[in-house]
C-alpha cells in the first residue's frame, strides 16, 4: 500500500491536491499505517462530473449486463478475502474472525443486488379503462453518494454501492477517514471488475468533502451511516438541498433477560454482543435488563465471561477482542464508566487502565460490567460505543418493556426467554426497528432492510434489500391509450 492513499475518479487513481493529510493509525499498536487526504470540494466536483457523464450510458445498459461486473466483484472479494480481513483488522482493530464475518456480510449485499433484474421490476394494470393500460417503472436517480463510519469499513460501503449501481446509478463513496484502507483495496478490486469509468468513484476526506457532496446540485441522493448528531446534520442539509437521504445514526441497545432464559447460552451470546468488536457495533447489546430471578445468576455469569475475555491485537491467535478506535474513544469510554459509578452504579468488572503486553501503546479498554445502573442516569441513555455492559433490574416484563422503550434510540431491542407469549408481547411492543428473540445481534440479512427507528435513523427507506432498490430508484407511472379500433385498419 502506498504511503498516501489515492482517490479513484473517472476510472483512474488520482493523487489528491489536499492541503491536509491525516495519519491512519493501527489502534492496537498506535503506529501509522498510511496517510489519507482530506480532499477539497474541487475533487468532489470532478467526481460528480465524471459520474454524470458515465450515467448517460450506464442507465441505458440492460440490468442483466449491469450486474455482470458485480458478479466479478463478488468473486474478486472472495479471492482477496483474507487480505481484506487483515486490512480491516489492522486499521479498525477487530479480530481476524470478526473481520471475516464483516466480509461475509459485505459480499452478501453484492449477491442480493445481482438479483436486480427481478428486484427492480415495476407493476402494471391492463384496462384501467377500455383500451387504457397503466404501468409503473423504476428508473435510476443519477449520481448518488454514501458517507460511511469507522466501525465496519468493508461492510457498510456495500450496504449501498451494489444496489446503487445495479439499479443504474453512478455512485461516489466517501469512506471514514479513520479507516480508508479497506475502501482503497475494495476499489482496486472494482477497477478489475469491469465497471465503466465513472460508474464507481472513491473520494477520501472529512467534513469539507462531505459538505461538497451535500451541496452539489448534481448529487441526487445521500446515504449515511455514523453518529446521531452527524446523521441529523446530513439529513437536514441534504433535504434542504432537495436530495433524498437515508441517514443511520447511533444506538443504545437494550436486551431483556427473563428468568426462564437458558442462562448459559444467554450469557455467552450477551458477552459476544456487548464485547464483540470491542462494543463498537451499532447492534451491540449495551443495556441488560434482568427480570426477577434472572438477576443474580446473570451478573455472576457475565462477570465471569467479561473478566476472562482475551484482549489484544486482533491478528494474534486466540484474541477475542481488540482495541477501540482511537485515544479519544478510549478516554470518552473510560470517562463514562467513571460517570456511571458517580451516578450510583456498581462496577462489577472494571476494564479501565489495563495494558496488553507487547502492545502497551494500543487503545485498549477491557470488558466492563456495571450493575444497578439507574435508569434515569446519563450512563443508561448515552451511547458508549465501547465494551461496557450496563445492567438494570426489572420486577416483571411490563417494567422491562417500559425500560426498553424509555430511550431516544431505536436501533435494536432483544429478549431472551423460553416463553412464546412473552416473546410475542416483546416483538409487538418494543420501540425499535430490529428485534432479536434469543438473539444478541439482530443484524438483518442483506435481503432485509436495516430498520433503525427514532434517533437511530432519519429518512424513510433503510439500507439493504428492497428498501435499497426503492431508495435508488424513482417511480414513473405511464398511462397509455390504444383504442381497439385503431388496429382494425390492418
Residue ranges binding ligand NAD (CB under 6 A): 147-151, 174, 176-177, 206-207, 210, 225-227, 230, 233, 248-251, 282, 383, 385, 411, 450, 452, 456
DSSP secondary structure of 355-374: --TT-TTS-----EEEES--
β-bridge pairing 123-129 and 132-140: antiparallel
Which runs of E-coded beta strand occur in 330-410? 346-349, 368-371, 388-394, 409-410
Report the sign of the C-alpha dihedral through residues 143, 149, 153, 155, in that order. Answer: negative
State the nearest-atom distance from the C-beta of 95 to ligand NAD, in Å.
18
**Nearer to ligand NAD (CB atom), residue 148 or residue 184:** 148
Cell of 350: 472494571
Q: Judged by CB, which is closer to ligand NAD: 226, or 314?
A: 226
Residue 422 grid coordinates? 412473552
Q: One of 92, 170, 277, 282 is an active-site residue; which one? A: 282
Closer by beta carbon to ligand NAD, 160 or else 298: 160
What are the distances in angstroms from CA 98 to CA 108, 321, 392?
16, 9, 28
Q: How far apart are CA 242 and CA 260, in angstroms?
A: 51
Least Å distance, CB 118 to ligand NAD, is: 26
Shortest CB 219 distance to ligand NAD, Å? 14
> What DSSP state is assigned to residue 311?
B
Q: 365 is written with which cell numbers? A: 479498554
In the complex, minimum distance from the CB of residue 187 to ligand NAD, in angstroms, rounded to a whole number: 16
Tell whether the torsion through CA atoms of 467, 427, 388 and 374 is positive or negative: positive
DSSP 434: E
- The DSSP call for residue 350 is -
Least separation in angstroms between residue 151's CB and ligand NAD is 5
Nearer Cβ to ligand NAD, position 69 or 250?
250
**Pairing between β-strand 170-174 and β-strand 200-202 as defined by DSSP bridges:** parallel
**282 catalytic per annotation:** yes
Relative to beta strand 31-37, strand 123-129 is: unpaired
Gap between the Cα atoms of 220 and 65, Å rounded: 23
Nearer to ligand NAD by Cβ, of 87 and 299: the residue is 87
385-418 burial code (b ≥16 CB/10 A, e <16): bbbbbbbbbbeebebbbebbeebebbbbbbbbbe
Shorter beta-carbon distance to ligand NAD: residue 235 or 298: 235
CB 174 to ligand NAD: min, Å:
6
Q: How many CB atoms lie within 10 A of CB 333?
A: 23
Instruction: List the one residue out of 79, 268, 229 whose CA is nearest residue 149.
Output: 229
Complex with ligand NAD: residue 95 or 148, whichever CB lies closer:
148
Q: CA 263, CA 438: separation in Å to the nearest integer?
A: 11
Radius of gyration of the chain (CA): 24
Within a 10 A sphere around the Cβ of 76, how many other Cβ atoms?
A: 19
Query: For ligand NAD, which is the closer residue by CB, 298 or 385?
Result: 385
- Least Å distance between CB 472 and ligand NAD? 18
Half-sphere exposure (Cβ direction) of 396: Cα atoms closer than 13 Å: 2
Task: CB nearer to ligand NAD: give 454 or 473.
Answer: 454
Q: Partners of 225 in the beta sheet?
A: 248
Total Cβ atoms within 10 A of residue 323: 29
Cβ at position 432, least distance to ligand NAD in Å: 11
Q: How far apart are CA 358 and CA 24, in angstroms?
A: 20
The residues carrying an active-site annotation are: 282
Amino acid at each position: 500500500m502506498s504511503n498516501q492513499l489515492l482517490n479513484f475518479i473517472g476510472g483512474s487513481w488520482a493523487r489528491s491536491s489536499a492541503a491536509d493529510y491525516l495519519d491512519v493509525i493501527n489502534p492496537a499498536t498506535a503506529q501509522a499505517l498510511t496517510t489519507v487526504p482530506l480532499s477539497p470540494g474541487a475533487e468532489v466536483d470532478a467526481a460528480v462530473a465524471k459520474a454524470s457523464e458515465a450515467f448517460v450510458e450506464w442507465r441505458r445498459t440492460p440490468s442483466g449486463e449491469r450486474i455482470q461486473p458485480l458478479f466479478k466483484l463478488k468473486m474478486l472479494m472472495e479471492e482477496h478475502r483474507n487480505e481484506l480481513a487483515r486490512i480491516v483488522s489492522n486499521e479498525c482493530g477487530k479480530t481476524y474472525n470478526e473481520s471475516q464475518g464483516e466480509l461475509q456480510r459485505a459480499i452478501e449485499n453484492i449477491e442480493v443486488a445481482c438479483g436486480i433484474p427481478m428486484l427492480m421490476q415495476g407493476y402494471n394494470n391492463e384496462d384501467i379503462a377500455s383500451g387504457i393500460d397503466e404501468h409503473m417503472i423504476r428508473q435510476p436517480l443519477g449520481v448518488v453518494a454514501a458517507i460511511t463510519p469507522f466501525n465496519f469499513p468493508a461492510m457498510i460501503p456495500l450496504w449501498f454501492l451494489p444496489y446503487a449501481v445495479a439499479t443504474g446509478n453512478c455512485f461516489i463513496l466517501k469512506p471514514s477517514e479513520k479507516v480508508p484502507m479497506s475502501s482503497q483495496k475494495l476499489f482496486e478490486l472494482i477497477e478489475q471488475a469491469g465497471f465503466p469509468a465513472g460508474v464507481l468513484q472513491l473520494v477520501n476526506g472529512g467534513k469539507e468533502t462531505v459538505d461538497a457532496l451535500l451541496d452539489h446540485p448534481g448529487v441526487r441522493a445521500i446515504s449515511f451511516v455514523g453518529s446521531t448528531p452527524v446523521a441529523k446534520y446530513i439529513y437536514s442539509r441534504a433535504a434542504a438541498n432537495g436530495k433524498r437521504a437515508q441517514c443511520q445514526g447511533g444506538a443504545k441497545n437494550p436486551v431483556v433477560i427473563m428468568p426462564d432464559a437458558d442462562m448459559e447460552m444467554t450469557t455467552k451470546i450477551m458477552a459476544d454482543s456487548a464485547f464483540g468488536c470491542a462494543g463498537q457495533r451499532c447492534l451491540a447489546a449495551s443495556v441488560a435488563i434482568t427480570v426477577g430471578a434472572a438477576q443474580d445468576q446473570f451478573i455472576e455469569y457475565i462477570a465471569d465471561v467479561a473478566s476472562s475475555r482475551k484482549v489484544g491485537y486482533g491478528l494474534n491467535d486466540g484474541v477475542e477482542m481488540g482495541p477501540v478506535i482511537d485515544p479519544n474513544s478510549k478516554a470518552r469510554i473510560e470517562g463514562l464508566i467513571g460517570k456511571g459509578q458517580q451516578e450510583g452504579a456498581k462496577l462489577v468488572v472494571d476494564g479501565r487502565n489495563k495494558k496488553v503486553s507487547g502492545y502497551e501503546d494500543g487503545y485498549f479498554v477491557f470488558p466492563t460490567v456495571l450493575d444497578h445502573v439507574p435508569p434515569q442516569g446519563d450512563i443508561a441513555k448515552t451511547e458508549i460505543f465501547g465494551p461496557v455492559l450496563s445492567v438494570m433490574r426489572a420486577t416483571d416484563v411490563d417494567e422491562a418493556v417500559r425500560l426498553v422503550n424509555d430511550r431516544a434510540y431505536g436501533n435494536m431491542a432483544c429478549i431472551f426467554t423460553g416463553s412464546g407469549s412473552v416473546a410475542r408481547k416483546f416483538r409487538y411492543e418494543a420501540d425499535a426497528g430490529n428485534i432479536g428473540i434469543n438473539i444478541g445481534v439482530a443484524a438483518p440479512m442483506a435481503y432485509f432492510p436495516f430498520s433503525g427507528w427514532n434517533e437511530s435513523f432519519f429518512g424513510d427507506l433503510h439500507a439493504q434489500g428492497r428498501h435499497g432498490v426503492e431508495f435508488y430508484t424513482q417511480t414513473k407511472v405511464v398511462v397509455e391509450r390504444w383504442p381497439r379500433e385503431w388496429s382494425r385498419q390492418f
